[in-house]
Chain A
Amino acid sequence: MPETALLEIDNAERVFGGGRTLFGRALPAVHAVQGVSLDVRKGETLGVVGESGCGKSTLARLIVGLDRPTAGRITFDGRDLVADARRDPRALARRVQYVFQDPVASLNPRKTIRAILEAPLRHLLGLDRSGREARLGELMEAVNLAPEFLDRYPHEFSGGQAQRIGIARALAADPELIVLDEPVSALDVSVQAQVLNILDGLKTRFGLTYVFISHDLSVVESVSDRVAVMYFGRVAEIGPAREIFAAPRHPYTHLLLKSAPVPGKRSLIPEDANTELPDPYNPPPGCAFHARCPRGTDICLAKHPALERVSGAAAHEAACHHPVDEGGHVRA
């Protein structure tokens, strides 16, 4: 695998709210993303998993320039992405694109598919009429839709077809990196497989790099080369997909894997464990997972664990003072 990082995120932070009122009272602030550092290598799929509200979508929006970090650096192909996004958002949109969770909501109900797909061709690539027409044909072919669909409106499509149009829109400008934010979560299982297969084919065909965000562990496992597990706005564990799923080191990853329903497996989790997430307006000191962690000790409360390399073949890092032993396999 080539080791060049296409996207580097260094200590990114995004705080919502905060500031002060006219009278100087501090307003509540939420750290949606905090001290996140990770890189995405050219040609790989980085999976990002985590539960609702852990900052996955905020991170995604930072990467495509729809939102700006309040601290930290994001570099894309060696250049400062945040500055680029501000100066020339179109230049960034040519290289980094986004696929939304809700396929229907991401298509304007009053535009034809042609109008939706032509927008990036016109505004990002500046293609003329015949150029656009040719590219539209290619795009529809790439996502396996009949060209007749171009003159229909979004409400005439099923969820899976609508999501393929969303993918075609992202592909239109021929980007290098595509951020997929829960691209199959709104779809039926039978349709989910279609979309996953199409995404897989496009990646090889166009040499794409994916950041694939999902709360569904089995989907992430099936698509990712490397995986980052997020909890409460931070990266809890990151490493090669195979290692993370076979030998998770962070107690939270451990819990996630144990909780995921698997066909053919009866439930095992004790039903009264604490599942409360910490209050985002009033985060606890130290490790955010402490209240739910079976391995927590005093040091976890006192000191926030840094993301550190745990022994393993390739770079496998976990943010934990007492990582689970390597032998601690989830699936016995």
Chain B
Amino acid sequence: MSDTAAAGSAGRMHKPRKRGRPSTLRLLFNNTLATTGLAVLVAIVLAALAAPLLPLPDPDVTAPADRLLRPLAEGHLLGTDALGRDILSRLIWGTRVSLAVGLSATLIAAFFGSLIGLVAGYAGGRVDTFLMRGVDMVMAFPYILLALAIVAALGPGLINALYAIAVINIPFFARNIRGITIGLSRREFVDAARLSGKSSAAILFGEVLPNVLPVIIITMSTTIGWMILETAGLSFLGLGAQPPQADLGSMLGDGRKILFTAPHVSIIPGLMIFALVMSINLFGDGVRDVLDPRLKSGALTRPVARTAVAQEREAEPRRHSGSVLDVVGLNTQFHIGGDIYRAVGGVDLHLKPGECLGIVGESGSGKSVTAMSLMGLVPTPPGRITAGSAWLEEEDLFSVDDERIRQLRGADVSHVFQDPLSTLHPLFTIGDQLTEAIMAHRPMRRSQADEKAEELLRLVRITNPAERLKVYPHELSGGMRQRVCIAMALANDAKVIIADEPTTALDVTVQAQILSLLDALRRESNAAILFITHDFGVVSAVCDRVAVMYAGRIVETGETEVVLARPAHPYTGKLIDCVPVLGQPGRRLDAIEGRPPVVNNLPAGCAFAARCERAEADCREGDIPLAAFGEGRAVRCLHPLKGEAADA
């Protein structure tokens, strides 16, 4: 049980994960737009920073003799303005000012806005109401009007413009940060910190703030461009930078009067504003994309509608005639980064009509991926089926075309998932959803479909079905919703129902009823059930046969009573021994030492060898087959238990 020994292996496990997930910087540089933005931005910033060092004429010295020189004039690369000042020099110095003002305004707005957001979100109640109503008041004014009013009150000038821009941006930060803070403050680690004796201030700034910081940075990177634009706007109106000082907005303003006679005077600062804001926004978007955790996990790489099947896969012949589902040698892999995760590594299983097969195993053992592979529901990328066949009667599900899979989904093969809310649409009534499921596969009149829907609800023992058809999913209890999902699965005379932990989220009393219901329905409709669960008690309740999975493969299979009473695989034995059983409180619980191997780095030989007390040298080499072990039973083990206890 000790993890003192596991320390090393945990450290090793950590590294592949890092390699598997693209690093933040690499992700950023993969984004061409963001990299371009960054390059332009760096060039502009370097030029602005180097202004005092560059051999530039004084930006404010007027020279009436040289006024309005065109670009590329002698000694004035970008020409001169109406007062004969060098435009290149004014542009670089002006950019420096605009950048400084934009950045300071962003920092001020971010500081006060985030502070308000943090305090309001954490304190809640009256403090929240008070602060957020204040913020709402600021937001109630049109944006630019408020800025104008502030500058009017304080008097024109660059610093006052900076304050005005900062103030009008505070609400944006405050609202964003408050939302995040509210979510975080309800998290358990905040309660844990409180019970560790931390004061509210220590929790807010020591626990919550570090988690909010990425959001603050994202918000800053996406607003700084706007702030520069807004400052330029105020300067353009003559309310920001005062002559002779140059900033991009005032340069644009100066050029306005001579737009037709000397367009370069306004076009050049205009282009600079464009380049600056554009580069900041492109880069900011790139930063946001890499910091967003949903993107990191690859959620934006849109998966295709059906799991990819590898070209080199060869169909396997059917093994069990008379079975409704016959899966042979199924392999499903995930390709992430440079790693290959063999989530399912050669699974065989078969179901007769009306039979219920349970698949048990620990989290990550590949139960769900096995089930989802059958109808192509594993997301691609990163998933792909690399070998094997799944015979639904005479058809290989991995060979048929997409149209045929679409017809079969929800008809011949249907699913019931753990969370009924993920199956039911919140905005449609139960009746709408049931009739849609029926009519999608069998064209009929709406009134006929309604009748059929009512019949289905009656089938799953929902009382008063006509009334229930009119309600929305949220108006039903969890158990009722799961009944509706089962009704949907039965809507088109399913031959196989794949139920993935259908009762795990339910209370025991409700679970017991759903199990009885499924058990009765499969006898009535003769549908076969592939029942995925981690609970041996649940398996006993409904499954005729059981298959135990470990690290992506079936390690033992047979009739439920037999496997449970006399497990042959050491893993099955251990797994049974470590669950408390109702009615046997004195039973000693035997934990299984260590943890399952990660499926991107499976050992040679038996995957369970590192944790197995019966392991011998021959267990660690070669492929260990799932060998027949008595009537209707098979075990993947070289030294199976023969009736004695698992830890004998």
- Residues of chain A at the chain B interface (Cβ within 8 Å): 51-52, 64, 66, 89-90, 93, 97-98, 100-102, 105-111, 116, 119-120, 122-124, 144-146, 148-149, 156-158, 160-161, 164, 166, 169-170, 172-173, 188-194, 196-198, 215-219, 221-222, 241-242, 245, 255-273, 275-277, 331
Q: How far is the CB of A76 from chain B (nearest CB, A)?
A: 15
Interface centre among B198, B509, B539, B540 (most CB of A within 10 A): B509
Within 8 A of A (CB), among B12-57: 14
Contact B574–A66 (Cβ < 8 Å): no
Contact A257–B193 (Cβ < 8 Å): no
Q: Using Cβ atoms and an 8 Å threshold, which residues of chain A touch B187?
A: 105
Complex Cα–Cα for A131 and B27 (A): 44
Contact A215–B589 (Cβ < 8 Å): no
Within 8 A of A (CB), among B184-199: 187-189, 191-198
Contact A108–B461 (Cβ < 8 Å): no
Contact B580–A219 (Cβ < 8 Å): yes
**Closest A residue, CB atoms, query B197:** A123
Contact A264–B580 (Cβ < 8 Å): no
Closest 4 CB pairs of A and B: A261-B537, A123-B197, A271-B516, A259-B512
Contacting chain A: which of B403-411, B433-441, B590-598?
B590-598
Q: How far is the CB of B528 from chain A (nearest CB, A)?
A: 18
Within 8 A of A (CB), among B569-618: 574-576, 578-583, 585, 587, 589-592, 595
Complex Cα–Cα for A156 and B519 (A): 41
Q: Using Cβ atoms and an 8 Å threshold, which residues of chain A touch B194?
A: 66, 89, 93
Q: Using Cβ atoms and an 8 Å threshold, which residues of chain A touch B145?
A: none
Q: Using Cβ atoms and an 8 Å threshold, which residues of chain A touch B513?
A: 259, 269-273, 275
**Closest A residue, CB atoms, query B587:** A222
Contacts A145-B3, A190-B362; is A265 near B540 (CB within 8 Å)?
A: yes
Contact B582–A120 (Cβ < 8 Å): no
Q: How far is the CB of A50 from chain B (nearest CB, A)?
A: 9
Complex Cα–Cα for A148 and B12 (A): 13
Contact A108–B189 (Cβ < 8 Å): yes
Of the A-B pairs whose beta carbons lie under 8 Å apart in the complex, a sample of 25, sorted by A's number, is: A93-B196, A100-B188, A102-B188, A110-B210, A116-B196, A119-B196, A122-B197, A123-B197, A144-B1, A146-B3, A146-B6, A188-B534, A189-B362, A189-B575, A193-B579, A193-B590, A218-B582, A222-B589, A261-B508, A261-B535, A261-B538, A263-B581, A269-B513, A270-B516, A271-B519
Partner of B512, one of A93, A119, A198, A258: A258
Complex Cα–Cα for A160 and B363 (A): 12
Contact B197–A277 (Cβ < 8 Å): no
Contact B193–A108 (Cβ < 8 Å): yes
**Closest A residue, CB atoms, query B565:** A264
Q: Is B429 an interface residue (CB 8 A)?
A: no
Interface centre among B539, B583, B587 (most CB of A within 10 A): B583
Complex Cα–Cα for A197 and B587 (A): 12
**Closest B residue, CB atoms, query A100:** B188
Contact A272–B575 (Cβ < 8 Å): no
Q: Using Cβ atoms and an 8 Å threshold, which residues of chain A touch B6?
A: 146
Number of B residues near A (Cβ < 8 Å) is 72
Contact B580–A265 (Cβ < 8 Å): no
Complex Cα–Cα for A273 and B461 (A): 9
Complex Cα–Cα for A122 and B513 (A): 50
Q: How far is the CB of A224 from chain B (nearest CB, A)?
A: 8
Contact A197–B1 (Cβ < 8 Å): yes
Q: Is B517 an interface residue (CB 8 A)?
A: yes
Q: Using Cβ atoms and an 8 Å threshold, which residues of chain B touch A198?
A: 1
Q: Using Cβ atoms and an 8 Å threshold, which residues of chain A touch B539?
A: 263
Within 8 A of A (CB), among B180-232: 187-189, 191-198, 202, 207, 210-211
Complex Cα–Cα for A170 and B461 (A): 46
Q: Is B541 an interface residue (CB 8 A)?
A: yes
Partner of A217, one of B188, B196, B564, B582: B582
Q: How far is the CB of A17 from chain B (nearest CB, A)?
A: 14
Contact B509–A275 (Cβ < 8 Å): yes
Q: Using Cβ atoms and an 8 Å threshold, which residues of chain B touch A157?
A: 10
Contact B582–A260 (Cβ < 8 Å): yes
Complex Cα–Cα for A190 and B541 (A): 21
Within 8 A of A (CB), among B482-531: 507-517, 519-520
Contact B585–A262 (Cβ < 8 Å): no
Partner of B519, one of A106, A107, A267: A267
Complex Cα–Cα for A161 and B589 (A): 18
Partner of A66, one of B195, B463, B595: B195
Contact B564–A263 (Cβ < 8 Å): yes
